Structure 1
């Protein structure tokens, strides 16, 4: 039996690149760009593995993780997100994900997470995030929680709106 993998991500170019890589590694990949598409695919095929983006255009990927656990409790599920934080990582693992990775995740890292033995702990990162990167991630997280409202984000962060706009206009620090 081949490994059937459900890949759910609304970023079509990223999804297509990851799909090609996963197919080369021996998975039969069923790609979906939304929760609705994913639910339709799950009704047709029972995947053994899943890679689910946290934020989708039509909802939260964590809702799908719960549903996938109901379909197949032994399914190996990895959650990807561009807006990672500790609270959502804990929620993903509690929902049944085997790992939680920040985007853009390396395909080899995703495969390691999918194929890891139950209870196997991931290695610590070789290079932890810089303080500037942690600050930038926090600002991005609050910005997303405020539904991308600059004024509300600035108020919550106790920061001038123009300062926040300059920070948001820059690329993320390494």
Structure 2
């Protein structure tokens, strides 16, 4: 394996400005970086070269980044994949790991966080279990985001499935928005 292949990073991000910033930051750390903004572009990039690392946004327009994680893991099970999202939930974190991601980070995360996520050791069985149960608000928030992911981030359909008015859902999302 060549040095270039070992340091080849694929960034899958639909926000062009953020992708460009992340690309420059990783290039300063001696990575060779390619960028894609959709699953279709990822397939094209995989036809050209196989990266050792990937950073995948969870929400790619109307697409789910989880399908990209699955595609990348199927292509090369040794690829280190980090999911980066502003729409974090336990459900999507679990699915990302089950589909082959090595880590799941919440935005805003910087290049140091992402690079550390690539090298993080496997799970720690000795981690203490939290004594505090999950709050109703947290459970509601996770259910909302799970349903959002299921509907491809369609707010009207999510509101219908949750049995709430669309404006109520939009207001809840506005209060808890994570950039």
TM range (shorter): 0.7 to 0.9
> 1: CA distance between counterparts of 2:98 and 2:27?
28
8 Å CA contact retained: 1:78, 1:113 = yes
TM-score (norm 2): 0.74
Give, in angstroms, the shift of residue 115 of structure 1.
2.5
> 2: CA distance between counterparts of 1:171 and 1:69?
31
Taking a change above 3 Å as real, the CA distance of residues 64 and 28 of structure 1, as seen in their structure-2 partners, is same
> 2: CA distance between counterparts of 1:136 and 1:32?
33
Give runs of ≥4 in structure 1 deviating > 4 Å.
133-140, 160-173
Taking a change above 3 Å as real, the CA distance of residues 73 and 140 of structure 1, as seen in their structure-2 partners, is same
Give, in angstroms, the shift of residue 163 of structure 1.
5.5
Give CA-to-partner distance per residue, 1:78-103, whole Å, 9 cap, x none. Answer: 01122111111111001110001112
- Unaligned regions of 5+ residues in structure 2, if any? 129-134
Taking a change above 3 Å as real, the CA distance of residues 116 and 169 of structure 1, as seen in their structure-2 partners, is closer
> 2: CA distance between counterparts of 1:90 and 1:166?
26
Give, in angstroms, the shift of residue 169 of structure 1.
4.6
Range that drifts further, 59-68 or 105-114: 59-68
Matches within 5 A, 1:50-69: 50-57=54-61, 59-69=63-73
8 Å CA contact retained: 1:136, 1:172 = no
Alignment equivalent of 1:105, drawn from 105, 109, 119: 109
Range that drifts further, 11-20 or 139-148: 139-148
**Alignment RMSD (CA, Å):** 3.1
Give, in angstroms, the shift of residue 141 of structure 1.
2.1
User: Helix, strand or coil for the counterpart of 1:149?
Assistant: helix
Give, in angstroms, the shift of residue 154 of structure 1.
8.3
8 Å CA contact retained: 2:54, 2:82 = yes
Who is 2:49 aligned against?
Answer: 45
8 Å CA contact retained: 1:83, 1:140 = no
Matches within 5 A, 1:76-91: 76-91=80-95
Taking a change above 3 Å as real, the CA distance of residues 23 and 153 of structure 1, as seen in their structure-2 partners, is same
Provide the aligned length of Structure 1 versus Structure 2. Answer: 163
Give, in angstroms, the shift of residue 25 of structure 1.
1.4
TM-score (norm 1): 0.75
